[in-house]
Chains A and B, each alone.
Chain A
Amino acid sequence: MALTNRAQKVQTASLSWSEKLYLPAILKGMVITFTHLFKRTPTIKYPEQKREIAPVYRGQHVLKRDEAGAERCTACGLCAVACPAEAITMESAERKKGEEGLYREEKYAKIYEINMLRCIFCGLCEEACPKEAIFLTDRIVPTTFNRGEFIYGKDKLVESKDEPVDVTKRQTPEVLDFKKDKKHYHNRTFLDKITRKKAAH
């Protein structure tokens, strides 16, 4: 009994005289090849020419800094626990006195690694992040010949202070409102807290 209608009967009949010539089949193939010469080519010359991508394309991750240039990530581990591919690992450390400009919270990620070969770019890390620290961007993860180079550490993930990565395209108005609202304790930077304290005194 057939389970699907996709089964095909095996042809067991021997070839006819015209089929044994092979010439008609060869000519048919040549015609197909020839017509392709006049069709629009789907190939693009990649590095010079780039394909248009969606504004919310999920590519290489970035670890954002806040307005004062301090790293937002506090190594809470929620991205790693949300990650279905288990691509993220991290190790946390305590911020020392004098490092307030480097790290926003008293705990920070000493090591933060994403295995780009494991990552499926689903964006759940971005969704899980309570600190608006990790975002997926429209950058494509470059290829290399070495597996080890696909494990991206903080050197590749944290945005540079001089050239911040624009992620506004990925942020819905609700997210932006939430981020700006200083009513929420976690949206206050270290500077905000100091100024509020001074104002209170």
Chain B
Amino acid sequence: MPKVTIDDITIEVPEGTTILQAARMIGGDVVPPAMCYYSKLKTSGGYCRTCIVKVEQGSAKDPRPMPKPVASCRTTVMDGMVVRNKTSQEVLEARAGVVEFLLINHPLDCPICDQAGECHLQDLGYEHGKVETRYEFDRREFEKIDIGDKIQLHMTRCILCYRCVKVADQLTDGRVHGVINRGDVAEISTYIQNSIENDFSGNVIDVCPVGALTDKTFRFKSRVWYTKPVDAHCNCDKCSGKVRLWYKGEEVLRVTARKDKYGEVEDWICNDCRFNKKKTSDWVIEGPSKVDRHSVISANHYDNLKVLKATVDRQQLALPHGEKVGLGKGALDPNNIHGKH
């Protein structure tokens, strides 16, 4: 098994692992950001270049460095490879350049965009980008296209990551859309504005890292951070039925698949679950979704007291009958008050 060193952390990984996957095995800050790579989709990656890293030593046998930064999602590790991600100034600068390029034609209509708050391009621009653009020309503009009655395509926001194309290719029966034209006129399109009609087409909304493909049933309903995510499931014969409901008050505003810490879908869900089951009675609620406390989605959500009550209840169960949880038993443990387990 090859050994690879990423940012001075050495790990042993199976043959054929890419640098990005190896970095994810280490986890934490070492992981390069990725806009197009999607671990659940085959042959994804290699388009956006945000995951570039510097290879200081190619392998133990051939220790020469690679001449320029490489895309970590497409480069497999070699034994004795030494990789630098955030410890290399060159990589950070090159990545800032990539972000600037990705944002050249992006309209920056975040105040309008439904994806704002859970947009990977926002995070990327915030963490890795430059503060200002140097681009002074008109950005390319497209008309909005309705792909079916539930999905809307804003081609102006697209960064051409090809994820939705891979979804259509691999998840559903026939390929229904792709990228037409090339260069700066390239666009995602269906064949002569056909609608995408199959049971899993809604997943293109979840895989889209920006707001190019959005849920029409959620359009302008609410900003993401005013909704409250709740994990739920149902018995669905088409898909796993494991979803995330986004509540505002008593109302389910939208249904999405559950996403992991890299923003990737855990289980694909079908269009029936996504678009048609918008009542609480359709679902079995499992509990509030875990939201990173740095995420804007956790703003204005006061879950701490509920967690405290749950903790108290759990401790109560562990106690002998008749005894009450009180001071000194951990009920007022500061870790519990802050909702950590």
A binding-site residues for B, Cβ under 8 Å: 74-78, 80-81, 86, 92-94, 105-107, 130-131, 183, 185-186, 196-197, 200
Smallest Cβ-Cβ distance to A86: which chain B residue: B300
8 example contacts (A-B, Cβ-Cβ < 8 A) are as follows A75-B220, A76-B111, A76-B116, A94-B220, A105-B109, A107-B220, A183-B136, A186-B108
Contact of A81 among B107, B112, B221, B296 (CB under 8 A): B296
A74 to B300, CA, bound (A): 21
B180 CB to nearest A CB, Å: 23
With both beta carbons as reference points, the residue of chain A lying nearest to B144 in the complex is identified as A106
CB-nearest residue of chain B to A196: B138
Q: Find chain B residues with CB under 8 A from A75 CB.
A: 220
Q: What A residues does B136 contact at CB under 8 A?
A: 183
Interface string of B99-139 (1 = CB under 8 A from A): 00000000111111000100000000000000000001011
Cβ contact within 8 Å between A77 and B300: no
Kindly list chain B residues whose C-beta atoms are within 8 Å of the C-beta of A196. Answer: 138
A77-B223, A86-B300, A94-B219 known; A185-B111 Cβ under 8 A: no
With A106-B112, A107-B112 as known contacts, state yes or no: A76 contacts B220, CB within 8 Å: no
Best-buried of B219, B220, B222, B296 by chain A (most CB within 10 Å): B220
In the complex, are the beta carbons of A131 and B108 less than 8 A apart?
A: no
Is B26 located at the chain interface by the 8 A CB criterion?
A: no
Chain B residues whose C-beta falls within 8 Å of the C-beta of A81 in the assembled complex: 223, 225, 296, 299-300
Q: Which of A93, A185, A197 is in CB contact (< 8 Å) with B220?
A: A93
Q: Which residues of A contact B47 (CB under 8 A)?
A: none
Contact B220–A92 (Cβ < 8 Å): yes
Q: How many A-B residue pairs have CB under 8 A?
A: 47
CA separation between A10 and B309, bound complex, in Å? Answer: 45
Main secondary structure of the interface of A (DSSP, over half): mixed
Give the chain A neighbours of B138 by CB distance below 8 A.
196-197, 200
User: How far is A94 from B114 in the complex, measured between Cα atoms in Å?
Assistant: 12
Q: Check A130–B111 contact: CB distance below 8 A.
A: yes
Inter-chain CA distance A76–B116, complex, in Å, is: 9
Chain A nearest CB from B198 CB (Å) reads 27
CA distance A196 to B141 in the complex (A): 12
Nearest chain A CB to B338 CB, angstrom units: 20
Q: How far is the CB of B296 from chain A (nearest CB, A)?
A: 7
A77 CA to B299 CA in the complex, in Å? Answer: 12
User: What residues on B are CB-neighbors of A77 within 8 Å?
Assistant: 223, 225-226
A52, chain B: closest CB distance, angstroms: 37
* B232 vs chain A, min Cβ distance (A): 25
A199 CB to nearest B CB, Å: 10
Smallest CB separation, B246 vs chain A (Å): 15
Chain B residues contacting A105 (CB-CB under 8 Å) are 109, 111-112
Residues of A within 8 Å of B110, CB to CB, are 76, 130
Contact at A185–B139, with CB atoms within 8 Å? Answer: yes
How many angstroms between the C-alpha atoms of A74 and B116 in the bound complex? 13
Taking CB atoms, residues of chain A closer than 8 Å to B222 are 92
Within the assembled complex, what's the spacing in Å between the Cα atoms of A106 and B156? 14
Task: Give B149 Cβ to nearest chain A Cβ, in Å.
Answer: 15
Tell me the bound Cα distance from A197 to B136 in angstroms.
14
Give the distance to chain B from A182, nearest Cβ to Cβ, in Å: 10
